[in-house]
Amino acid sequence: MKRPRIPQSRDRRRDAEDDSSDTGDGAGSDDGADVVVLRDERTARSEGAAGSTAPRSEGGPTRAPGERREQGAEGTPQVDDVDADVDADAEDAEDAEEETLAFPEPKVVGVRRRRRRGLWLLGGGLLALLLTVVVLTVSPLLTIRAVEVQGNDLLTDDRAQELLEPVVGRPLPQVGNRHVEDLLAEEPVIDQVVVQGRLPDELLVEVVEHPPVAEVRSDDEIRFYNEDGQVIRTFDAEDEEQVAQAEEHHTPVIGEQSALQDRAVFRAVASVLGELPPSAREAMDSASASSVDSVELELTDGRTVLWGSSERGREKAAVLEALLDSEDPAFAEADTVDISTPDAPVTR
């Protein structure tokens, strides 16, 4: 609890002078000796520190430092009590400052500060991203100097490098799947393209090719066709090495006359061969048709499969694959297997 302040000696002096005037006594009477003139706080402290024992200017008795004087007749406060009160007031003020409550920061101020911090972080991140993109797109360190093609079989390496020549010298981040697909669009053998960059300067192109479903032989060339009836590779029939490459694929052969006679019939035959799974296609020796509804397949073991039209192709392909894997003599020893109606295959 804070100690009460003692009234200043000036008020006490004024009361003593009023009492003296009422009794008619002079200023130098004995009663006036009871009035104590308070010294200035700084003077009292300096005198106490120096250990001064000089007599007071008003003729009062001398005292040693720290000695307490008796109160006057009317309870006038002494100098030491005033000094103690001043020190106590100073300590109370310091304690009050230390105990001052810190009011919490308004919520809106904290929200604004966090928002500004978030905006600065976002701006810095966007700037770093922009600089990264600029460096990657224009940096000469990421210029394509080599192209590697994987997964190609019918597409030769020389032909692939020729088609992809325009990407050499371009920044690596600027070349994607769409750009490479456009360059390889001239080759119908290409089905899918996957492009990957290899730092610092190599482009990897992985291709997926259409499988050849039929081949047509002539005197000077061998042509491979996809399921849409498009030529996907041509071999030189007079080059033994290329002929050997063509024979590695075991593609069913369509007679040249059948292929040239009716384009619709040829597409029907190619579509049927495209429905076959790879294992069944390898068992085929040739295919022919006199119309779009009378496709016939010749197996390598000499048996004939009557396919009919291209309708319900997937069901017929599943039945044919099951028959080829069957050990039932009714199918193994039959010369002709009719699957034009896949729900009820017939053997003859």
Residue ranges per structural domain of the chain: 9-50+68-98, 143-209, 214-347
pLDDT of residue 196: 92
Helix 263-275 to helix 313-325 angle, to the nearest 10 degrees? 50
Q: Do domains 143-209 and 214-347 have the same CATH topology?
A: no
State which H helix or E strand residue 305 sits in. strand 304-308
Contacts of 57 (CB under 8 A, 6+ apart): none
State which H helix or E strand residue 50 sits in. helix 41-50
pLDDT of residue 75: 47
253-254 and 284-289 beta bridge pairing = parallel
Torsions phi, psi for 320 (to 5 deg): -65, -40
Q: For residue 319, which of 304, 332, 334, 337 has the smallest C-alpha distance?
A: 337
Per CATH, the architecture of 143-209 is what?
Roll (3.10)
pLDDT of residue 110: 73
The DSSP output letter for 26 is -
Residue 99 sits at the vertex; the CA angle it makes with 93 and 103, to the nearest 5 degrees, is 125
Lookup: tokens for 194: 């996957």
**pLDDT tens for each residue of the chain, 348 residues long:** 444 444 444 444 455 445 444 444 444 444 443 434 444 444 445 454 444 444 444 444 444 444 444 444 444 445 455 555 556 666 665 555 555 555 566 777 777 778 888 888 888 888 888 777 666 666 666 789 999 999 999 999 999 999 999 999 888 888 889 999 999 999 999 999 999 988 888 999 999 999 999 999 888 999 999 988 899 999 999 999 999 999 888 888 887 776 667 888 888 899 899 889 888 888 899 998 888 899 999 999 899 999 999 899 999 999 999 988 888 888 888 899 999 999 999 988
Q: For residue 147, which of 130, 119, 167 has the smallest C-alpha distance?
A: 167
Torsions phi, psi for 286 (to 5 deg): -160, 170
Burial class (CB in 10 A: 0-12, 13-18, 19+), 12: buried
The CATH T-level fold of domain 214-347 is Rossmann fold (3.40.50)
